[in-house]
Every structure is written in structure tokens, then in C-alpha cells.
Amino acid sequence: MKLKRLLTVTFLAATAITLAACSNQTQSGGKTVVKVATDSDTAPFTYKENNTFKGYDIDVVKAIFKDSKKYKVEFVTTAFDSILTGVDADRYQIAANDFNYNDERAQKYLFSDPISHSNYAITSAEGTSYDSLDDLSGKKTEVISGSNYAQVLEKWNKENPDKDPIKIKYAASSTGLTTRVQHIENGTIDFILYDAISSNYLIEDQGFNLTVTNVKDQIGGENDGLEYLLFADTSEGKELQKFVNKRIKDLKEDGTLAELSQTYFGGDFVSSVK
């Protein structure tokens, strides 16, 4: 009997260790730690100021988890192309980096309700304006592989074989937007496709002599320009998504999202979101 009890205790202990190893989520002060991944290089959505996490996405997440009795949030800086692979591996539970919708992501991840709405914009040399993807035929750009903007340009090339392709150079994930915009100034590339909020913010903040033009084309259907938080498509991800969406609704209704939008974007990019 003693041997049987000993084996039972040993089995239960081993099972507990195995289950603990299956998830990278930890506990702190009785709360579940939710790690939020961001590249800290996509101002005004996410950036660092004196080693402090700042930006619209950061403050939205902070507001979502404020006073939560169940969750404690922690922010982690990682390269853009490592954010979603980290979510896959459960190193991070939320991806917050001005993520847009696309079908490929929708097959793998859960999306929050939208937290802002911008527009695609093309940044180009001063005095040169491109307001459609057709205008970019034969022009040179730099993108981060796997980004929504890269996929938009790749799709245009695929759907327009009769036209000069957009010349796409894939930059390292550590190559920030500022560096790529500088390449427009020095003539290395012709344009950058990005969201209007980030593009206008960067040009004004850094004092670049460049032109930012909203794209007139409809890109991506009804989800065009909407920004989301992303989760793993797991039971834990679904539970977290449910909590986050309830809080997003509350924060929209009480005006918090509009206030944060005004602070970081200089306007209300929230109230029009359905």
C-alpha cells in the first residue's frame, strides 16, 4: 500500500510539472501574467521614451487591464517578425503593434475588436505624390517581410502581370520606419506604403521634407485601415479575447479611446469604428 501511494504521489507530481511546462504564462501575486509583444519602433502606436513603453497601443492595453483582479500585464520588446512567432510559442499572449487584418493572419490568430481606424498612405519625395497603387508601378520600396504592407504590394504585382512590377526590397526586421523613410530622402527608394497616422506623425516629428498622400484605392475590403490586438487561437486566447473585447467596448463608451487617440494621433480615429 505504501508503495502504491508513493507511486501515485510521484505520478501526480510529474503530471503537475508537465502541465506547468505546457504554458509559458506565469503567476504574479495571484494574477496571471499577460505578456504583450511590441517592436517599440512604430510611433505613435508603440515606442520607448527613456526606456519607458509609450504609444497609443501601449496605453490602450494599460487601460484594458487597469484594476484587473485576474490579469497582470507586462510589455516585451522584440523584432517585428518575432512577435507572432512568439505568440505561436506562447512566449507572448498579446501582439500589439498596429496590426491590420489579413486572411492569412485570420487563419492562425484571434483578433480583438478594432481599436483605431487609419488609412493607407504613400510617403514619397517632396513634390512627388502617389495616391494609388497603380502609380507605384516600376517604383522601388522597402518593406518588412510578412507585414500587411508587404502583402498589399506583393498582391498588386501578382494581379498586374502586364505592368512593370513594384520593386520590393525586403529589409531586416530591425530596420525601423525612420531608417526606411531616410532612404526616400537619399534616393535609395521611391516610396514607403504605411498607415497615414504613423506616416504623418513621423514626417512632422523628425522634420523630413517628404510628401504623405492618402491612398484613394480601397484596399482590404471592410477591414481596410482597422487596427487590432492579436491573440493565439487557443482556449486561453479566446478567454483573453473575450475579456479584452469587453474592456474595449467600455473604453470606447466612456471616451477613453477617443482621448488616447487625440493624445497620440492628434484627432479622433476611434469614434468611426463600428
> What CATH number has the domain bearing residue 88?
3.40.190.10
With bands split at pLDDT 50, 70 and 90, how would you rate the model's confidence at 193?
very high
Question: Looking at the structure, do residues 70 and 202 belong to the same domain, yes or no?
Answer: no
Question: Looking at the structure, do residues 111 and 128 belong to the same domain, yes or no?
Answer: no
Q: Quick one: pLDDT at residue 273?
A: 86
Question: Looking at the structure, do residues 111 and 240 belong to the same domain, yes or no?
Answer: yes
pLDDT at 20 over 90: no
Cell of 274: 463600428
Question: Looking at the structure, do residues 191 and 209 belong to the same domain, yes or no?
Answer: yes
pLDDT at 95 over 80: yes
pTM: 0.75
Q: Which domain holds residue 37?
A: 33-117+225-265
Task: Say which range, 8-17, 87-96, 196-205, has the weakest mean pLDDT.
Answer: 8-17
Ramachandran angles phi, psi of 9, nearest 5° = -65, -40
- What value does the mean pLDDT take over residues 73-94? 96
In a domain, 27, yes or no: no
In a domain, 156, yes or no: yes
Question: Looking at the structure, do residues 188 and 160 belong to the same domain, yes or no?
Answer: yes
CA distance 74 to 78: 13
With bands split at pLDDT 50, 70 and 90, how would you rate the model's confidence at 173?
confident
With bands split at pLDDT 50, 70 and 90, how would you rate the model's confidence at 18?
very low
List all residues 6 or more positions away from 273 whose beta carbon is below 8 Å from its beta carbon. Answer: 114, 115, 116, 117, 226, 252
CA distance 152 to 80: 17
Domain boundary among 204, 222, 240: 222
pLDDT top residue among 131 and 7: 131
Question: Looking at the structure, do residues 103 and 152 belong to the same domain, yes or no?
Answer: no
In a domain, 26, yes or no: no
Q: Quick one: pLDDT at residue 24?
A: 57
Question: Looking at the structure, do residues 86 and 156 belong to the same domain, yes or no?
Answer: no
Question: Looking at the structure, do residues 165 and 240 belong to the same domain, yes or no?
Answer: no
- For the chain, the domain total comes to 2
In a domain, 240, yes or no: yes
With bands split at pLDDT 50, 70 and 90, how would you rate the model's confidence at 16?
very low
Question: Looking at the structure, do residues 174 and 204 belong to the same domain, yes or no?
Answer: yes
Q: Quick one: pLDDT at residue 12?
A: 44
The closest of 76, 87, 71, 88 to 26, measured between CA atoms, is: 71
List all residues 6 or more positions away from 69 whose beta carbon is below 8 Å from its beta carbon. Answer: 31
CA distance 81 to 150: 12
With bands split at pLDDT 50, 70 and 90, how would you rate the model's confidence at 146?
confident
In a domain, 99, yes or no: yes
pLDDT top residue among 272 and 2: 272
Question: Looking at the structure, do residues 55 and 97 belong to the same domain, yes or no?
Answer: yes
Question: Looking at the structure, do residues 47 and 180 belong to the same domain, yes or no?
Answer: no
pLDDT at 172 over 50: yes
Question: Looking at the structure, do residues 107 and 164 belong to the same domain, yes or no?
Answer: no
CA distance 99 to 122: 18
In a domain, 182, yes or no: yes
In a domain, 158, yes or no: yes
How many residues are there in the chain? Answer: 274
pLDDT at 208 over 90: yes
In a domain, 128, yes or no: yes
